Amino acid sequence: MNNWIHPALFYLVGALFLPLFKGALKKVFILLIPVAGIVSVAISSYGNYGAYQFLGVEGLFGRVDKLSMVFAWVFVIMSFLGALYALHRKEDGHHIAGFYYVGGSLGAVFAGDYLTLFIFWEAMAFSSVFLIWYGKRPQSVNAGYRYLLFHVFGGLLLFAGMMFYYSKTGSFAFNAIPPGGASWPEYLILAGFALNAAVIPLHAWLPDAYPEASVEGAVFLCAFTTKTAVYVLARGFSGFEILAIMGTAMTVFGVIYAIIENDIRRVLAYHIISQVGYMVAGVGIGTMMAVNGAAAHAFAHILYKALLFMGAGAVLYMTGTSKMTQLGGIYKYMPLTMIFYVVGAISISGFPFFSGFVSKSMIVAAAHHEGRIWLMLLLNLAGIGTFLSVGLKVTYFTFFGKESGDHRNVHEPPANMLWAMGLTSLLCFLIGTFPSVFYKLMPFPVEFNPYSASHLSEMMQILSFTGLVFYLMVKKLAPDAKLNLDIDYFYRKGTVLFIKFDEKVIAPVDAFWGELYRTLGLKSLFGTATLSYIFDQKAIDGVVDGTAHSVMGIGSIVKKLQTGRVQTYIGLSLLLFFAILWAVL
């Protein structure tokens, strides 16, 4: 195949035509857009497409290879599931924002240069913020602005880094950077990527914003931003030791906060940080098995995390709350939602025959093969925390446990939401049951058997131990209706302090300086202007006007002497001659 159609075009262009459709036809069109994206990816062949030149700079819209195709496949699949889940939304703007978000992610995945990457990178940020604002609460508006500020800052880091990189190399080509050859331009780029990956301490935007998004928007948000960041890290910074360390720290940090959270969507948001930590650690380890594990886990995570957000969103949609202290016992009213959520929970926990079991373990095995024992132990510890919080705590206190409040009018969500959860659950099961087919998508040949006796034994021991801990400590793990402070506390408080500093110091100094300028500066300016006016009037205009009057007077005299008589002209000439002669002598 010589011609290649960029999958992002179907989302970016298709979204523009969405307002033209009404009723059932609109719903069909909403689903046709991601279907076209899936077909476009399916018929793609490896190669470089869409090369261009802009102001002497070479760019590439389409670099299609094994690594980009892994992420392209899961992005278009997730776009269909997300669109199906959101099919009941009436606002065209919500669907348009979602499709532009997907289009930006696909554009970034296929970008072959930093300039193209940056354009789609920013498109992701500015389209995704509307999914937060569609939460339509004051908290959503505020969280959206904070989210946007964070991502603008990350975009500036990326832009500065790529400009310095161009100054250094003379090229915007987006290729792998050897760890030993990186300098501060490359590390600026890395920082911009790390912010989107929610690498601590640049993570606080995620648990701040995602829980405030619309029910449907959160499903899109959990899938694209952080995983696009994982892709670019794998593409450009594989083998960087700092990523292995920070990624492992993310896995533990995320589960600690998830265990103590009360809001289901905040639990899941912190688990995005934890699960993306596995991927970042895999990229940092940098071996073929580790990078395969990062790509596989990104694929699996998008699906089971979306399923978890779908289940939590369905609970919020039907009950009006996602706080565990206000729920309990709703399995009686939403049994299908409970089943689908549990599928997502056991998938993220790494149960055999489900997707997390065949992806996460590859990263842990890669750490073990490289002798990174501490990394391996911490990654397993994070796995325990994952099952404890998402698999057991949320499931028990949301769907079982003591019922809080009157939920007699609660029932299953709309059919499109159930279908989306059902299809996603099926994919989680198929990936875990047939890993050999799944592994064929990976960027490198896979030589890993997740269903070895040792791995099965290890996982069953971890899961059984975690279940026992939960049983013994269930009362201690009961959620509390409290606010947990994260690192965003410091920049929020810092902003408040800066505003007070501005009111008490900067504003008065500015007012004083303005008054000083008005008192001295303007008076001096007007005084100088008055002197200039007088000088212009008396000196310049006087000389010019006087000269003009003299010339006019001489002209009048000469005019009178012009009689037209030759004798007069001869007499005047003789008179002038004798006058000059007298003056000389």
> Is 276 a domain residue?
yes
> Is 209 a domain residue?
yes
Check if the beta carbon of residue 246 is closer than 8 Å to that of residue 347. Answer: no
Greater confidence (481 vs 525) lies with 481
Report how far residue 107's alpha carbon sits from residue 7's, in angstroms, rounded to the nearest whole number: 8
Residue 157 to residues 20, 58, 165, 530, Cα–Cα distance (Å):
39, 22, 12, 51
φ, ψ of residue 240 to 5 degrees: the values are: -80, 120
φ, ψ of residue 53 to 5 degrees: the values are: -125, 135
Per-position DSSP letters for 13-54, written without gaps between them = HHHHHGGG--HHHHHHHHHHHHHHHHHHHHT--SEEEEEEEE
> Is 486 a domain residue?
no
Select from 205, 237, 269 the last residue of a domain.
Answer: 237
My answer on whether 554 and 410 are in the same domain is no
**Range with the lowest mean pLDDT among 159-173, 177-191, 567-581?**
567-581
> Is 126 a domain residue?
yes
Task: Kindly tell me if the per-residue pLDDT of 152 is higher than 80.
Answer: yes
Select from 237, 260, 277 the last residue of a domain.
Answer: 237
Express each pLDDT in 268-278 by its tens digit: 999 999 999 99
My answer on whether 242 and 229 are in the same domain is no
My answer on whether 352 and 226 are in the same domain is no
Check if the beta carbon of residue 72 is closer than 8 Å to that of residue 7. Answer: yes
Express each pLDDT in 14-70 by its tens digit: 999 999 999 999 999 999 999 999 999 999 999 999 998 887 788 899 999 999 999
Mean pLDDT of all residues in 565-581: 63
> Is 487 a domain residue?
no
Burial class (CB in 10 A: 0-12, 13-18, 19+), 307: buried
My answer on whether 104 and 172 are in the same domain is yes
My answer on whether 464 and 496 are in the same domain is no
DSSP assignment, residue 479?
-
Report how far residue 204's alpha carbon sits from residue 468's, in angstroms, rounded to the nearest whole number: 32
pLDDT of residue 583: 62
My answer on whether 269 and 229 are in the same domain is no
Return the residue matching tokens 């389209």: 127
Mean pLDDT of all residues in 475-491: 81
* Cβ neighbours of residue 308 closer than 8 Å, sequence gap 6 or more: 268, 271, 341, 344, 345, 348, 390
My answer on whether 53 and 185 are in the same domain is yes
| H helix or E strand, kind and range, residue 62 | strand 57-64
Express each pLDDT in 289-327 by its tens digit: 999 999 999 999 999 999 999 999 999 999 999 999 999
Provide the angle, in degrees to the nearest 10, between the axes of the packed helices 264-285 and 215-236: 10
The overall average pLDDT reported for the chain is 89
Mean pLDDT of all residues in 491-516: 77
Express each pLDDT in 56-88 by its tens digit: 788 899 999 999 999 999 999 999 999 999 999
Task: Kindly tell me if the per-residue pLDDT of 532 is higher than 90.
Answer: no
Report how far residue 428's alpha carbon sits from residue 426's, in angstroms, rounded to the nearest whole number: 5
Task: Kindly tell me if the per-residue pLDDT of 430 is higher than 60.
Answer: yes
Domain count, the chain: 3
Reduce the DSSP state of residue 322 to 3 states and report it: coil
Beta bridge partners of 113: 173
Task: Kindly tell me if the per-residue pLDDT of 151 is higher than 80.
Answer: yes
My answer on whether 379 and 519 are in the same domain is no
My answer on whether 308 and 347 are in the same domain is yes
Task: Kindly tell me if the per-residue pLDDT of 555 is higher than 70.
Answer: no
Task: Kindly tell me if the per-residue pLDDT of 332 is higher than 70.
Answer: yes
Express each pLDDT in 89-126 by its tens digit: 999 999 999 999 999 999 999 999 999 999 999 999 99
Share of the chain above pLDDT 70, in %: 89
CA angle 268, 270, 273 (to 5 degrees): 115
| H helix or E strand, kind and range, residue 58 | strand 57-64
Report how far residue 391's alpha carbon sits from residue 345's, in angstroms, rounded to the nearest whole number: 5
My answer on whether 144 and 194 are in the same domain is yes
> In this structure, how many other beta carbons lie within 10 angstroms of the beta carbon of residue 165?
22
Report how far residue 240's alpha carbon sits from residue 246's, in angstroms, rounded to the nearest whole number: 10
Residue range(s) defining the domain that contains residue 401: 238-479
* Cβ neighbours of residue 415 closer than 8 Å, sequence gap 6 or more: none
Check if the beta carbon of residue 23 is closer than 8 Å to that of residue 135. Answer: no
pLDDT of residue 505: 83
pLDDT of residue 264: 95
* Cβ neighbours of residue 397 closer than 8 Å, sequence gap 6 or more: 324, 327, 328, 478, 479
Burial class (CB in 10 A: 0-12, 13-18, 19+), 179: middle
My answer on whether 103 and 148 are in the same domain is yes
If phi > 0 it is left, if psi is from -120 to 50 it is alpha, else beta; for residue 327 that is beta
Mean pLDDT of all residues in 457-486: 87
Beta bridge partners of 263: 323
Cα–Cα nearest to 130, from 103, 107, 96, 153? 96
CA angle 422, 292, 125 (to 5 degrees): 65
Check if the beta carbon of residue 411 is closer than 8 Å to that of residue 318. Answer: yes
Residue 528 to residues 26, 212, 536, 541, Cα–Cα distance (Å):
70, 59, 12, 18
Residue 153 to residues 121, 147, 186, 276, Cα–Cα distance (Å):
12, 10, 16, 21
Greater confidence (32 vs 403) lies with 32
pLDDT of residue 1: 43
> Is 420 a domain residue?
yes
Select from 205, 222, 237 the last residue of a domain.
Answer: 237
Its pTM stands at 0.85
My answer on whether 364 and 390 are in the same domain is yes
* Cβ neighbours of residue 465 closer than 8 Å, sequence gap 6 or more: 384
Share of the chain above pLDDT 90, in %: 72
